[in-house]
Amino acid sequence: GAVVSQHPSRVICKSGTSVKIECRSLDFQATTMFWYRQFPKQSLMLMATSNEGSKATYEQGVEKDKFLINHASLTLSTLTVTSAHPEDSSFYICSARGPIPRPQETQYFGPGTRLLVL
Amino acid sequence: GQNIDQPTEMTATEGAIVQINCTYQTSGFNGLFWYQQHAGEAPTFLSYNVLDGLEEKGRFSSFLSRSKGYSYLLLKELQMKDSASYLCAVRGQNSGYALNFGKGTSLLVTP
């Protein structure tokens, strides 16, 4: 089946630094990837939709200058949290749109990245 | 926009059956998904409904009524490993395949 990886799985950083999270589709090409954020005991909130070769589409309330998304290839999308602050601490999950147009398996989720900003 | 409601917590006994309900309001509908998520892990796909009716897959079944904006996930023969959060997610017609998730139902299976 389609596999999506994320790196790193866990990161701790100081306030004010930038953190880059990678999302890779390992055995298929993903023209569309999605970035979600999940706070403790909350649901997944869509942050942005990343399309290969074009600018990401951000959801309302998500600062595009703070959360930089790059989808330079069909197998890699990156999310950079710039000038991170403690309130950015969260579980970040990416998903990739599957290669086969079966609607019930449209998205394959990565294992997530837990970010802690001190 | 989309509003998705599901119970926050449920408890059931090992071997029993549990039904997790989900109601939604959406300006456009293009499918409803159920995912299972264990703490600290990514969601895993359980089921998909786009037409009314019941979809059965092993111990898990999912039902959809589009006219009522209602779905449920039915788990049979509960096992301890089924203790997890169950997320109801709706895909809108113009969402570009993005999903809108409910807050999830935390299910605890007890011996």
Would you call B104 and A103 a contact, using CB atoms and an 8 Å cutoff? Answer: no
pLDDT in tens, A80-95: 999 999 999 999 999 9
Please give the single-letter amino acid code of residue B71. Answer: S
Average of per-residue pLDDT across A102-117: 81
Mean pLDDT of A71-87: 93
CA distance B109 to B111: 7
By C-alpha distance, the chain A residue nearest B5 is A43
Q: Of B47, B96, B104, which is closest to A43 when you measure between CB atoms?
A: B104
| Residue A104: closest C-alpha in chain B | B48
Greatest Cα pair distance, chain A, in angstroms, is: 42
3-class DSSP assignment, residue A93? strand
pLDDT tens column, B47-82:
999 999 999 989 999 999 999 999 999 999 999 999
Q: CA B21, CA B69: separation in Å to the nearest integer?
A: 11
CA distance B71 to A87: 34
Distance CA A80, CA A23 (A): 11
Task: Give A65→chain B minimum CA distance, Å.
Answer: 21
What is the C-alpha separation between A117 and A34, in angstroms, rounded? Answer: 22
**Residue B41, Cα to own-chain centre: how many angstroms?**
17
Q: Judge whether B92 is closer than 8 Å to chain A, CB to CB.
A: no
When mean pLDDT is compared across A30-34, A103-107, B14-18, the lowest value belongs to: A103-107
